[in-house]
Amino acid sequence: MALLEVKNIHTYYGKIHALKGISLEVNEGEIVTLIGGNGAGKSTTLNTICGITPAAEGTILLSGVDITHKRPHEIVAMGVGQAPEGRKIFTRLTVRENLEMGAYTRNDPAGIARDMEFVFETFPRLKEREKQLGGTLSGGEQQMLAIGRALMGRPRIMLLDEPSMGLAPLLVRDIFNIIDYLNNEQGTTILLVEQNAHMALAIASRGYVLQTGVIILSDSAAALQENEMVRKAYLGEN
């Protein structure tokens, strides 16, 4: 049984049919990436899984449990964490307060304290800026904070939405190194949405290609890197 199963999901924004029968799965311990152009429906897929944009049809299962119509806070409590597109940190809260907000569904102070220390060990820059307001952080630091906040919920699966967006190349490398570390060293299962297909496919085990609300291709990351259509459309090769 897959950790996350998305079965024939249809999602609408008003009359706009954004997702047209999406099906995908993520097994425990994997990094699975979802690639596609702007407007393909990648963020909508993650928001539908999280209950932010509810599905009109279809089923979403977490370890076999139906979460399709759960509320977002219930889905977080069940083990789905998200670092959203654009980070969406609390700009007027400190770094520590932002991380504490990530643990709002929990009631285990000792465990929260341990996880706070883990986040600070993983992101030393956040420890240095523990009392600094989130809005004063650089883009890369805000991305670290968004991932750290998601980790504070102790997720069974993390949904990462465009973690490299707007970052300088060196910071992109740092963020992807951290994602790789969380997966390989900590065993964190990750569903990754990323426009930088080169980086995403380099660390993922499998991938799906999304186009105008429809999955048009799924394969191992290695096979997708060699696929002619993927190379031309998403890897910038002629």
What are residue 7's DSSP bridge partners? 59
Query: In the structure, what pLDDT confidence band is assigned to residue 160 with cuts at 50, 70 and 90?
Result: very high
13-40: average pLDDT = 96
Distance, C-alpha 147 to centroid of its chain? 9
With contact defined as beta carbons under 8 Å apart, do 46 and 36 qualify?
no
Residue type, 163: P
| Angle (CA) 194 195 200, round 5° | 50
Residues 164-194: tens digit of each pLDDT: 888 888 888 989 999 999 999 999 999 999 9
Res. 237: pLDDT tops 80: no
pLDDT digits (tens, 9 = 90+) for 40-50: 999 999 999 99
Which residue type, as a one-letter code, is found at position 123?
F
Say what the pLDDT of residue 238 is: 64
Cα-Cα-Cα-Cα torsion 107, 64, 73, 27, nearest 10 degrees, comes to 90
Residue 133 DSSP class: B
Question: Is the whole-model pTM more than 0.95?
Answer: no
Superfamily of domain 4-86+157-233: P-loop containing nucleotide triphosphate hydrolases (3.40.50.300)
Confidence grade of residue 72 (pLDDT, cut at 50, 70, 90): very high
Percent above pLDDT 70 for the chain? 100
Q: What is the pLDDT of residues 210-224, one digit of tens each?
A: 999 999 999 999 999
Q: Stretch 90-105: mean pLDDT, rounded?
A: 95
Region 56-85: mean pLDDT is: 95
> Which of 27, 69, 20, 19 minimizes the C-alpha distance to 191?
27
Domain limits, the chain: 4-86+157-233
Percent of the chain predicted with pLDDT > 90: 87
